[in-house]
A and B are shown apart, each in its own frame.
Chain A
Amino acid sequence: MAHANNHAFAHEGGHDGHHDLEELRKFGFWIFLITDLILFSTLFATYLVLHENTAGGPDAKEIFELPGVIVETFILLTSSFTSGLAVLAMNAGSQKGLVGWLIVTILLGASFVGMEVTEFLKLIHEGHTIHSSAFLSGFFTLVGTHGLHVSLGICWITALIVQLSRHGITEVTQRKVHITSVYWHFLDAVWIFVFTIVYLMGVM
C-alpha cells in the first residue's frame, strides 16, 4: 500500500519529482563538457608545442593525406546532423524515427573510426609510430583521444538504443538522448579543430 502511494507520488512531478533531477543531470553534463574541453585544449597545446619536433623524421606535410581526412570530416559532420534528426524525431514522439536516426549516426561514427584506424595502421606500417618523434607522439595522442571519445560515444548510443527499446521515450531516456546528442555535437566541434590545426595547417 505504502509502495503504491509512493509510486503515485513519483508521477506527480512537482518540485521534488523526476523533472528537476533530469535538469540537474543535463546541467552537470554541460560542466563535464567544460572539463573535456580543457582536456582537449591541453592536448592541442601540447601538439602545437611539439609539431615541429620531428627528430629528423618526416613532418606533417610528408605523411598526411588530405583527401581521406576530408571524407572523414564529411562523415562526422553528417553524423552530427543525423543525431540532430534523431532528437527532432524524439520531440515529434516517433520512437521509430529516433532509433532509426541513432542507428544511422552510429554507422557513420563507426565508419569514421574505421577510417581513422586505417590511417593509423598505414602510418604505423610505414614505420611512423608514437615512438618515432615528439611530433608523432602528439599527433597520435591528440587524434587518438578524439577517436577514443567517438568510440565511447558509439558504445553509449548503442546502450541507449537497447534502453529505448525497453522503456520507450520517457523523461529519463529523453534526457539521455539529449546528453548523447550534445556529446556528439561536441566531438564534431573538436574534430573541426583537429582538422584545421593538425591536418590543414600540417599540409600547408
Chain B
Amino acid sequence: MRGEASVIDQIKDFASWFFVSGDPLIYGADVAIALTTAAIIFVLSYFGKWGWLWREWLTTVDHKRVGIMYIIAALLMLFRGGVDALMMRTQLVFPDMKFLSPEHYNEVFTTHGVIMILFMAMPLMFGLFNIAVPLQLGARDVAFPFLNSLSFWLFFFGAMLFNMSFVIGGSPNGGWLSYPPLSELTGSPGVGEDFYIWGIQVSGIGSLMTGINFIVTIVKMRAPGMTWSRVPIFTWSVLSSCIAIIVAFPVLTVTLALLFLDRFLGAHFFTMDGGGNAMMYVNLIWMWGHPEVYIVVLPAFGIYSEVVATFSKKRLFGYGSMVFAMLSISIMAYFTWLHHFFTMGSGANVNIFFAISTMIIAIPTGVKIFNWLFTMFRGRISFTTPMMWTLAFIPCFVVGGMTGVMLSVAPADFQFHNSYFLIAHFHQVLIGGVAFGYFAGLYYWWPKMFGFKLNETIGKWAFWIWNIGFYVCFMPQYVVGLDGMTRRINSYGWDTGWWAMNFTSTIGGFLMGIGFLFQVWQIAHSIKFMEKDTTGDPWGARTLEWSIPSPAPLYNFATTPLVTDRDDWWEEKERIAAGKMPKEKPKLEPIHMPKNSPIPFIQSICWFTVGFGLVFHWLWIAIPGFVGIALTLLAHSFNYDTDYYIPVDEIRQTEAKAGRGV
C-alpha cells in the first residue's frame, strides 16, 4: 500500500502548490467563491433560467446588453479593488499591526492598481460607450456587433484569469506595471506575473478591438444630417479616447508579449544578463500607460459636458474648443510618458522636453474647465445626482491637476517621486476625474438602460459620504508625502510621526467604502421601488438617445432620425413647444439586424484556456485552447448567415407597447 500513499502525497504536494493556502483571508475568499458559485447555479436552475441566460445575454450582440454586462462586471471589480484598498489602509493604521504580511501587502497593492485601472475603469467606460454612443449617433448598433461581443468576453475572461491568481497559484506582486527585473523569473519565480501578463493581454486585445469598433461606428454610422459639428460631445470624447486606444494598446500587447518571452523562453529583452535592457520596458509600458490615463479620463470629460448642458438647460459653451481640446489631449498624451521616470537618469534635456509637454497638456484641460463653468453661468441649474458629481469634480480635478503640474517640474519631482504626494495626486485625478465622471454617466444614462431613475435621496447620501471620504482620505497623504513618506511599504514606524495622518486617511478610505455601500443600496432600493419612466426623456435632455423609449427597443430607432441641429432632440422639443410641426418621420421599413452568436463567448473561453495553460507552462492545456481559437475563427469566417430583418408589423407593435404611434 506504499504506492497508494505516495499518490496521495503527490496529490497533496500538488494541491499545496496549486491552491494558495495558509492565510485566513484566502480561506475566506475560497468559501465566498464556492458559496457564490453554488448560489448562482442554484438560482439559475431553480428558476429555469439557463436558456434565458444563454440566449438573451451570453450570446447577445446587442450593444445595450453588452454595455450592461460591462457595467455589472465593472462594479463587481470596483468592489474587489475597493476591498484591496481597505485592506491596505487597515494595515497602515498601526505600525505594529500584522494584518498583512509584507509579501501579501505587495500582492494587494499590485492587484488594487491593475483591477482599478484595467478591470474597473476600462469596462465601466466601455459600458457607457456601448450604452450611449450608438444611441447618440442615431444608429441601430455599433459597426461590428459580433466583434463588440467578443471584446466584452475577452475582457471578462481576462479579468477572471487575473482574479483567479488570488486563490490559485498566487497573485502578482511586482506593482501594477510589473517593472523588470522584479517581474522577471529571477525576481518573481512564481506564476503571479504570468497571470498578470495573460489576464491583461487577453482583455487588452478586447480593448483594442473596441477602439477600432467605435472609431468606425462614429466615423461611418452617424445619422443622416449629423455633420461633425453636430456630433454630441460625449461621442467626440469617445472618438478621441478610441484614437488613443488604437495607438497605445498595440504597444502594451508587444510589451507584455516580450516580458512573457523572457519568462517563458528565456529571451533577454529586459533581463539584467544577456544584453537585456530593463529600462526599455519602463519606456514601453509608459508609452501605453500614460495615454491610458487620458483614455479613461477623456470620456469622463464628455460625460461632464453632456451633464452640465442638460442640467443647466443651456447649450454647451465652447463646443468647438472642447472638441479641439479633447483631440489635442489625445495626441499630446504621447509626449508625456517619460515624466513617469524623471529620476532614472535620462538626462536634463530629455527631462526638460517631457516636463514642458506635461505642463502644456494642462492648458486644454484648463480650457474645458472654463467651458463647463461658462455653460453653468446664467443657466437654470438643477441639482440632480449626475450634476452633483459633475460639480464635485471641478474643484477636485483643479486641485489634482495643479499637484500634477507640481509633479511635472522635473527637479521638484526628484523630491516627490514615489512619495504619498504622488499617490494623493493620481488618486485625486483618477477618482475625482474618472470615477466621479463615470458615476455621473451611470446615473445619467441609467433610465435609458433600465427604464427608471435611481433614487435621488440615497444617491445624494452616497455622494456626500463619498466626497467627504475622498478628502479625508487623500488630503493627509499630500502632507505625509511632502514629509517623505514613500509608497509600497506595509508599515511606517511610530517614530516617523505619521500615525495621525495615516489614521485619518484610513477613516476616509472606509467612508468611501460606506459611500459605495450606499450606492449598492440605492440600486437595490430603486429596482424595487422606483416608478417606470414613460417619457423616455426623464431629465429633459438634449441629444438623440432621449428621443426614443426607455429602455431602448432592440432596434433603437424605429426610423432613422434626420439630424438638422446640434442637440437635435432639444431643438426639436423647442420647435414643438413653439407650435411648429414635429419633423416628419420616414415610412417604417424592415430593420436589418445582426443575429446573436455563441462564438465570442466560446472563443473567449479558449483564450482563457490558452492563458491558463501558459501561466502554468502546461502546453497540454494551452494547445487545445489555441486549436479552439482557430476553429472558432474559421467557424465565424464560414458563417454567411449573420443577419435578419425585423418586419414592419413587429416594429409597430413594439413602438405601440412603448406608447409611441408610428
Q: Is the CB of A134 within 8 A of B274?
A: yes
The 8 Å CB contact of A134, one of B251, B275, B284, is B275
> In the complex the two chains form, is B258's CB within 8 Å of A159's CB?
no
Q: Is the CB of A27 within 8 A of B220?
A: yes
| Residue A112 at the chain B interface, CB threshold 8 Å | no
Decide: A134 and B266 in contact? CB cutoff 8 A. Answer: no
A35 CB contacts on chain B under 8 angstroms: 208, 211-212, 246-247, 249-250
Max count, chain A CB within 10 A of own CB: residue among B258, B274, B592, B645: B274
Checking B269, B277, B592, B647 against A2 with a beta-carbon cut-off of 8 angstroms, the contacting residue is B647
Q: Which of B257, B269, B638 has the largest count of A CB atoms less than 10 A from its CB?
A: B269
- B215→A133 contact, CB < 8 A: no
A55–B275 touching, CB < 8 Å = yes
State the CA gap A156–B284 with chains docked (Å): 31
Q: Which residues of A contact B254 (CB under 8 A)?
A: 39, 42-43, 46
Contact string against B for A residues 159-184, beta-carbon threshold 8 Å, 1 for contact and 0 otherwise: 10011000100001000000000000
A121 at interface by CB-CB < 8 Å: no
Q: Is the CB of B277 within 8 A of A53?
A: yes
Question: Are A137 and B261 in contact, with the CB atoms below 8 A?
Answer: yes
Say which size band chain A's interface belongs to.
Answer: 35 or more
Measured CA separation A25–B498 after assembly (Å): 58
Q: Which A residue sits closest to B647, measured CB to CB?
A: A2
B640-A38 in contact (CB<8A): no
| B276 interfacial by beta-carbon distance below 8 Å | yes
Q: Is B496 an interface residue (CB 8 A)?
A: no
* Interface members, chain B 629-662 (any A CB < 8 Å): 630, 634, 637-638, 640, 644-645, 647
B488 within 8 A of A: no
Task: For A16, list chain B residues within 8 Å (CB).
Answer: 589, 591-592
Partner of A9, one of B143, B220, B645: B645
Question: Is residue A69 within 8 Å, beta carbon to beta carbon, of the partner chain?
Answer: no
- Whether A24 pairs with B275 at a CB distance below 8 angstroms is no
Contact flags (1/0) for A23-47 with B, using CB distance below 8 Å? Answer: 1110110011011101100110010
For window 154-174 of B, CB contacts with A under 8 Å fall at none
Beta-carbon contacts of A47-76 to B below 8 Å, as 1s and 0s? 001100111000000000000000000000
Considering residues B590, B630, B644, which has the most beta carbons from chain A within 10 angstroms of its beta carbon?
Answer: B590
Interchain CB contact under 8 A, A134 and B212: no
Docked Cα-Cα span, A38 to B212, in Å, equals 14
Interface size class on chain B is: 35 or more
CB atoms of B212 and A10 under 8 A apart? no
CB distance from B523 to the nearest CB of A (A): 35
* Residues of chain A with a CB closer than 8 A to B284's CB: 42, 46
Closest partner residue, chain A, to B590 (CB atom): A9
Contacts of A32 in B (CB 8 A): 212
How close is B588's CB to chain A, nearest CB, in angstroms?
12
- Please tell me if the beta carbons of B220 and A24 are within 8 angstroms of each other in the complex: yes
Known: A2-B647, A42-B284. A134 touches B592 (CB 8 A): no
A89 to chain B, nearest CB (A): 22
Cβ-based interface call for B216 (8 A): yes
A27 touches B216 (CB 8 A): yes
Residue of B nearest to A9 (CB): B590
Q: Does B41 contact A (CB under 8 A)?
A: no
Contact A172 B640 (CB under 8 A): yes
B265 contacts which chain A residues (CB < 8 A)? 130-131
Q: Is the CB of B143 within 8 A of A38?
A: no
Closest to A23 in B: B220
In the assembled complex, the Cα of A74 lies from the Cα of B122 at a distance in Å of 45
Q: Measured between alpha carbons, how far is A203 from B661 in the docked complex, in Å? A: 75
Q: Is the interface of A mostly helix, strand, loop or mixed?
A: helix
Chain B, interface SS category: helix
Interface residues of A in 107-135 (CB under 8 A from B): 130-135
Q: Is B273 an interface residue (CB 8 A)?
A: yes
**Interchain CA distance A42-B275 in the complex, whole Å:** 18
- The yes or no answer to A95 lying at the interface (CB within 8 A) is no
Chain A residues within an 8 Å CB radius of B427:
none
Min CB distance B10 to A, Å, is: 31
Known contacts: A16-B589, A141-B267. The answer to whether A55 contacts B274 by CB under 8 A is: yes
Q: A84 to chain B: which residues have CB within 8 Å?
A: none
Interchain nearest-CB distance for B295 vs A (Å): 14
Q: How far is the CA of A25 from the CA of B250 in the complex (A)?
A: 20
Are A141 and B258 also in contact (CB < 8 A) when A27-B220, A159-B634 are? yes
Partner of B143, one of A24, A34, A43, A156: A24
Specify which of A16, A43, A137 lies most central, judged by the most chain B CB atoms within 10 Å of its CB. Answer: A137
One of A25, A36, A130 near B267 (C-beta < 8 A):
A130
**A5 touching B589, Cβ below 8 Å:** no
CB contacts (< 8 Å) of A137 on chain B: these are 261-262, 267-269, 274, 276
B1 touches A (CB below 8 Å): no
Known: A6-B645, A35-B246, A46-B258. A24 touches B276 (CB 8 A): no
Given A9-B645, A39-B250, A39-B254, residue A134 in contact with residue B261 (CB < 8 A) = no
Q: In whole Å, how far is A161's beta carbon from the nearest beta carbon of chain B?
A: 12
Asked if A138 is at the interface (CB within 8 A of a chain B CB), the reply is yes
| CB-based nearest B residue for A138 | B269
- Which residues of B are found within 8 Å of A133, using beta-carbon distances? 268, 274-275
Closest to B221 in A: A24
- Contact call A17/B592, Cβ cutoff below 8 A: yes
A31 in contact with B212 given A5-B647, A38-B251, A134-B274 (CB within 8 Å) = yes
Q: Is the CB of A50 within 8 A of B208?
A: no
| Distance in angstroms between the alpha carbons of A95 and B72 in the assembled complex | 49
Q: Tell me, rounded to whole Å, the shortest Cβ–Cβ distance linking B237 to chain A.
A: 18
A53/B276 in contact, CB under 8 A: yes
The answer for the CA separation of A106 and B215 in the assembled complex, in Å, is 32
A154 and B306 alpha carbons, distance in the complex (Å): 47
Give B252-283 as 1s and 0s: 1 = Cβ < 8 Å from A's Cβ atoms: 01110110011001111101011111001000
A31 near B215: Cβ-Cβ < 8 Å: yes
Q: Which residues of A contact B591 (CB under 8 A)?
A: 16
- Smallest Cβ-Cβ distance to A51: which chain B residue: B275
Q: Could you say which of B216, B276, B644 contacts A6, with CB atoms under 8 Å apart? A: B644
By the criterion CB–CB under 8 Å, are B274 and A42 in contact?
no
How far, in angstroms, from A31 to B219 measured CA to CA in the complex?
A: 12
B261 and A50: CB pair below 8 A?
no
Answer whether residue B144 sits at the interface, using C-beta atoms and an 8 A cutoff.
yes
**B residues in contact with A28, CB < 8 Å:** 143-144, 212-213, 216
Q: How far in angstroms is the closest Cβ of chain A from B220?
A: 5
A142 to B644, CA, bound (A): 43
- A25 to chain B: closest CB distance in Å? 8
5 smallest A-B Cβ distances: which pairs?
Answer: A53-B275, A134-B275, A137-B267, A55-B275, A6-B645
- Please report B residues at the A interface, Cβ cutoff 8 Å: 143-144, 208, 211-213, 215-216, 219-221, 246-247, 249-251, 253-255, 257-258, 261-262, 265-269, 271, 273-277, 280, 284, 589-592, 630, 634, 637-638, 640, 644-645, 647
A–B pairs, 25, beta carbons within 8 Å: A5-B590, A5-B647, A10-B592, A10-B645, A16-B592, A23-B220, A25-B144, A28-B216, A31-B215, A35-B247, A38-B246, A38-B247, A39-B251, A42-B250, A42-B254, A50-B280, A53-B277, A54-B275, A131-B268, A134-B274, A134-B276, A137-B261, A137-B276, A162-B638, A163-B637
Given A35-B208, A130-B266, 12 other A-B contacts at CB below 8 A?
A10-B592, A24-B143, A24-B216, A25-B144, A27-B219, A31-B212, A35-B247, A35-B249, A35-B250, A46-B280, A134-B271, A137-B268
Which A residues are within 8 Å of any B CB, using their own CB? 2, 5-6, 9-10, 16-17, 23-25, 27-28, 31-32, 34-36, 38-39, 42-43, 46, 49-50, 53-55, 130-135, 137-138, 140-141, 155-156, 159, 162-163, 167, 172
